[in-house]
Chains A and B, each alone.
Chain A
Amino acid sequence: EAQVTQNPRYLITVTGKKLTVTCSQNMNHEYMSWYRQDPGLGLRQIYYSMNVEVTDKGDVPEGYKVSRKEKRNFPLILESPSPNQTSLYFCASKKIRDRTEAFFGQGTRLTVV
């Protein structure tokens, strides 16, 4: 089954404690992206990657890092989380060559206290 898998689904952490949210896709998609979703603000792109070792900033990259060492994985790293990073996070992937739809993960609800 074609899917994007994020882990964990829920996470409560404390300010300043480094964390990683994993994202993996099994569709051999070149493009992967992270979004955060907050009430009233919609989906905002954090970082995206067009292929292995190629990453770029989205609209709200501050406080986040990503890496793309393998095509299937695109982890989101919060080196020093702060309460304003409490949000619902989604990973997505899509093909580049054909302009087709994006596939989203189940979401990770992060709370930073």
Chain B
Amino acid sequence: SQKIEQNSEALNIQEGKTATLTCNYTNYSPAYLQWYRQDPGRGPVFLLLIRENEKEKRKERLKVTFDTTLKQSLFHITASQPADSATYLCALDLDSGYALNFGKGTSLLVTP
């Protein structure tokens, strides 16, 4: 069956450091992968999209890599700030190409 796995353990890091979150998937051949941020009780908000033919994508302090051989994406936040504390979700399109399937998310806590 199709699975998307993200670290279930919360990630605690110190302000200024780089946070790295992992998304692994099985039984998918996604054309693209997305990362979302979710604050408690609120809807997910889109951050970045990376296509299968792209190895890396950047947006300000965010960087995403996509390795279709390893079936893995890494999400980096450089120079992290307490305001980056949230849950981060990765999402893949289903085989139909229409819907999005989400991982359970990794909680990030950035302490001053």
Residue A90 interfacial (CB < 8 Å) = yes
Q: Is the interface of B mostly helix, strand, loop or mixed?
A: strand
Task: A88 to B44: give the CA distance in the assembly, Å.
Answer: 12
The total of interchain contacts (Cβ-Cβ below 8 angstroms) comes to: 56
Q: Which residues of B contact A94 (CB under 8 A)?
A: 100
What 1/0 flags go to A57-95 for Cβ under 8 Å of B? 010000000000000000000000000000010101010
Q: Which residues of A contact B104 (CB under 8 A)?
A: 40-42
- Give A33-71 interface residues, CB cut-off 8 Å to B: 33, 35, 40-43, 45, 48, 50, 58
Seen from chain A, the residues whose Cβ lies within 8 Å of a Cβ on chain B are 4, 31, 33, 35, 40-43, 45, 48, 50, 58, 88, 90, 92, 94, 96, 99-107, 109
Contact between chains at A31 and B98 (CB < 8 Å): yes
Q: Which residues of B contact A100 (CB under 8 A)?
A: 49
Task: A94 to B46: give the CA distance in the assembly, Å.
Answer: 11
Contact between chains at A88 and B97 (CB < 8 Å): no
Q: Which residues of B contact A104 (CB under 8 A)?
A: 43-45
Report the nearest A residue to B6, measured CB to CB: A42
Min distance, Cβ A10 to any Cβ of chain B, angstroms: 10
Min distance, Cβ B104 to any Cβ of chain A, angstroms: 3
Contact between chains at A45 and B49 (CB < 8 Å): no
